[in-house]
Amino acid sequence: MKLTLAKSFALFTLTFGITLSFVLLNHQSPLPTKPDPMARTFILWLHGLGDSGPANEPIKNLFTSPVFANTKWSFPSAPNNPVTCNYGSVMPSWFDIHELPMTADSPQDEAGVLKAVQNVHAMIDTEIAAGTNPNNIFICGFSQGGALTLASVLLYPKTLGGGAVFSGWVPFNSSILQRVSEDAKKTPILWSHGIADRTVLFEAGQAGPPFLEKAGVSCEFKAYPGLGHSLNNEEFRNLESWIKSRVHSSS
């Protein structure tokens, strides 16, 4: 079943925007505390289809722990590309999506994914060249951005702090596993998916851990009952704790 441009855009941007606004309004910020001396960390957030980087920037305000006092955030925007599932309409898209809802067996634009991965890797390389420890670099993404997060982390030649996939899917077939380096296999993956997701079906998310297991990659999978194609407070709290536990101290 294919969605029209209006339906798809609303699902990927309006729903997410409303959800994010609700999360921000209901987030209670603790009293400021003196931050611990931590090395610089870098968090790259990749948005979903039809969205933009600036629209997602409020996410960083949810991470109030002193651990994030020296964190550099980046919210890039995808280039405008025609999208097949929207009958060729042009919109911000990291790569092509052939059909929605996304299932575990949906066809994938592997060439487009690999091209987008190169751009993400360039951002990571720049940050490492600036002095950030690769172990303190975290790639996170929602929906299409989650699929790109997975691809980028698996194909990066060094071990990173982690990759967090939200409502994403595996954007290529198992032959790609031959290109996953031993160092990349050490990068942990956090995968979160709503059971009530009708855009990227839960089955598409469930296919992730077995795929990663074939490559020997560690994956923590969390299912959220009643959650559709969006993000909620619990997911953000879990992400904050997950990253905190993996940040390397400057000492």
Q: Identify whether the C-beta of residue 54 lies closer than 8 Å to the C-beta of residue 75.
A: yes
SS3 of 79-147: the string is CEEEEHHHCCEEEECCCCECCCCECCCCCECHHHHHHHHHHHHHHHHHHHHCCCCHHHEEEEEECHHHH
Torsional class of 244: left (φ above 0), alpha (ψ -120 to 50), beta (otherwise): alpha
Active site residue 193: no
Which is catalytic among the residues 8, 93, 106, 143?
143
Marked catalytic residue, from 51, 96, 109, 197: 197
Q: Which of 211, 215, 218 is nearest to 172 (CA)?
A: 211
Under a CB-based contact definition with an 8 Å cutoff, are residues 109 and 95 in contact?
yes
Residue 143 is among the residues annotated as catalytic for this protein: yes
Is-catalytic flag, 241?
Answer: no
Active site residues: 143, 197, 229
